[in-house]
Amino acid sequence: MTSPAAPTSAAEQGKGGNEGTHRSVPVGWVVMVVVGGIITLLSLGPLLGGGLLIAADATQKDSDGFFTSPDGRLETTSYAITSDEIDLGADPTDNDTRFDLGDFVTIRMDVESSSESPVFVGIGPQADVARYLKGVERATVEDLSFDPFSVRYRYEAGGAPSGEPTGEDFWVASAHGPGRQTLEWEPESGNWSVVIMNADAERGVSVDAAIAAKSPWVLRVGVGLAVAGVIALLVGATLLVVGVIGLARQAHFDLAGPPSPGPPVQLDARLDGPPSRWLWLVKWLLLIPHFIVLAVLWVAFFVVTLIAFFAILFTARYPRSLFEFNVGVLRWTWRVMYYGYSALGTDRYPPFTLGEAPDYPATLSVAHPERLSRGLVLVKWWLLAIPQFFVLAIIGGSMGNAVSGLDWRVPFGGLLPLLVLFVALSLLFVGRYPKGLFDLVVGLNRWVYRVLVYVSLMRDEYPPFRLDQGGPEPSESSEGTPPSSTDVPA
């Protein structure tokens, strides 16, 4: 009886061994975790806003239910103080467009003369107020602030009014007399003006004024936002917990396997053909579909990293399924950037996949760690990686600033974009990708992705301050793999 033939090469042995241990990324659990995390984060806005409105309704109102501003002094040597036109939208005579704002808010004005003169305050249609005060010397309030109090006027020359304001019948709300006077108004559609004068229409107006508002909708909106936030939080937390439990079960089996071989971070690239002289001019347009997908993937990347932070902090492990998802995002990004303006290294359009594409000329892999330090996860990003952020700012300019979250300006925009510009000019005019430039460009990208992996909490090994140039990783070239970067004529 003939026994089955054993694999005769290391490659076949590796292939046979991997078939029994390889596991695909559980997309459903990952999507559930990402969506749950996003919904949970979004729920914080309505919860916070609703809580603030409920707290304000309970603590900031006076005994009559109004939110009141502090008193401020309004004064002029002219005959009247008026507001700018208050435009509340529709024509009050048009029943089709008119709406009653009084159902939503009530306005109150409190004014008290700083002299012995009785005071008048009134609100009327802007057209009628303009007709009454036509040719009257007055001060119009252009800007008003109560915290701190400040007021800016626009002065108009003229004479005295034709009569006392109390004799006019167009006011929709008014109050007059000695001492403190209170006006309440339920706003309506139309254009309105507020007028403060002495009741006898004499020159020189000086009052202490406060504005207040009351609305039952403050509490209603606050409660609605809080309820919506709680519902969103419950939905998001449910998805998050169920997804994490599913990933934890997957991780239980995955972590029992052997650790991933190879260096912690392996970024490889090769020039597999003559780059086009002109295609780089339109790659930005060709890559738009990738940029749209990557924008969504990077939002998910940050959510997954946040979840992984707590997983590492409490379990010292990075769940493999989440890890593979984030590696997939980095892998996809490297392929797009290698095709695009981080290298211009190939004219082969990048595939739309998170998985490996071994035949593509740009590959990236990150070995999954069996355990990670609970202590390092607390200080990696904001402390230990700071020297690396300075380097990234020099390498990538705005790209380095985006990774670090800080604003470190580089006068020339970054070394890598400058080198890629030289590559583009060389392709356009000479038809070659110089070997030295290729090695340097790939080495700089390799540095960037090592730092990305570190600050994304995926490995504990500190990125070396070493520029490993060339297409293959140094470990490959040291074993005799011939370098792939050569001058390729177009």
For 62-85, how does the pLDDT look when each residue is reduced to its tens digit (9 = 90+)?
Answer: 888 899 988 899 999 999 999 988
Q: Answer whether residue 223 shows pLDDT above 80.
A: yes
On whether residue 58 sits in a domain, the answer given is: no
Q: What is the DSSP letter of 381?
A: I
On whether residue 431 sits in a domain, the answer given is: yes
Domains identified in the chain, total number:
2
User: Quick check: 484 and 477 in contact, CB under 8 A?
Assistant: no
Q: Are residues 205 and 312 in the same domain?
A: no
User: Which tens digit of pLDDT belongs to each residue from 1-52?
Assistant: 444 444 444 334 434 444 444 445 566 776 777 787 788 878 888 999 999 9
Q: Are residues 402 and 335 in the same domain?
A: yes
Residue type, 382: W
On whether residue 62 sits in a domain, the answer given is: no
Tokens 């080198």 correspond to 419
- Structural domain that includes position 115: 67-216
Please say which residue of 161, 181, 216 terminates a domain.
216
Q: Are residues 438 and 376 in the same domain?
A: yes
Q: Are residues 294 and 432 in the same domain?
A: yes
Q: Are residues 201 and 289 in the same domain?
A: no
Vertex 196: Cα angle to 193 and 200 (nearest 5):
130
Among 239, 258, 266, CA closest to 320? 258
Q: Answer whether residue 468 shows pLDDT above 90.
A: yes
Cα–chain-centroid distance for residue 78? Answer: 50
Q: Are residues 318 and 439 in the same domain?
A: yes
Q: Answer whether residue 455 shows pLDDT above 90.
A: yes
Q: Are residues 318 and 419 in the same domain?
A: yes
On whether residue 176 sits in a domain, the answer given is: yes
Q: Are residues 290 and 212 in the same domain?
A: no
Q: Are residues 436 and 297 in the same domain?
A: yes
Q: Are residues 195 and 271 in the same domain?
A: no
State the CATH number of the domain containing residue 194.
2.60.120
Average pLDDT over residues 147-152: 84
Please say which residue of 216, 235, 268 terminates a domain.
216
Q: Are residues 298 and 373 in the same domain?
A: yes
Average pLDDT over residues 143-161: 88
Q: Which residues contact 344 (CB under 8 A, 6 or more apart)?
A: 275, 280, 283, 420, 423, 424, 427, 433
Please say which residue of 216, 241, 270 terminates a domain.
216
On whether residue 469 sits in a domain, the answer given is: yes
Return the SS3 of 396. helix
Task: Name the pTM for this structure.
Answer: 0.55
